[in-house]
């Protein structure tokens, strides 16, 4: 398993949350600021690349995705 930190705009959040099960991802933490939501996600390592690709496409490159942190 690995953890991924993501920051995305509010408008993207419902779509992202609906797609998490496709990657066997779970939301571990959630915080909000003026620009959007910061999520800490837990998912299988082999799913991280696919989720990163999805986030990049959905956000048109605007989502901030920090490197994975192995558990």
Give the C-alpha separation, 6 to 59, whole Å: 11
Per-residue pLDDT, 70: 79
Q: Which of 9, 69, 12, 19 is closest to 40 using CA atoms?
A: 69
At the topology level of CATH, where does 2-70 sit?
Answer: Alpha-Beta Plaits (3.30.70)
The helix (H) or strand (E) run that includes residue 19 is: helix 13-19
Note the pTM of the prediction, 2 decimals: 0.89
Tens-binned pLDDT, residue by residue, of the chain (71 aa): 999 999 999 999 999 999 999 999 999 999 999 999 999 999 999 999 999 999 999 999 999 999 778 77
């Amino acid at each position: 398993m690995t953890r991924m930190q993501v920051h995305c705009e509010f408008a993207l959040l419902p779509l992202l949350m609906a797609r998490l099960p496709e990657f066997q991802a779970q939301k571990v933490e959630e915080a909000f600021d003026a620009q959007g939501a910061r999520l800490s996600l837990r998912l299988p390592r082999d799913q991280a690349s696919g989720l990163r690709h999805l986030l990049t496409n959905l956000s048109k490159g605007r989502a901030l995705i920090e490197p994975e942190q192995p558990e």
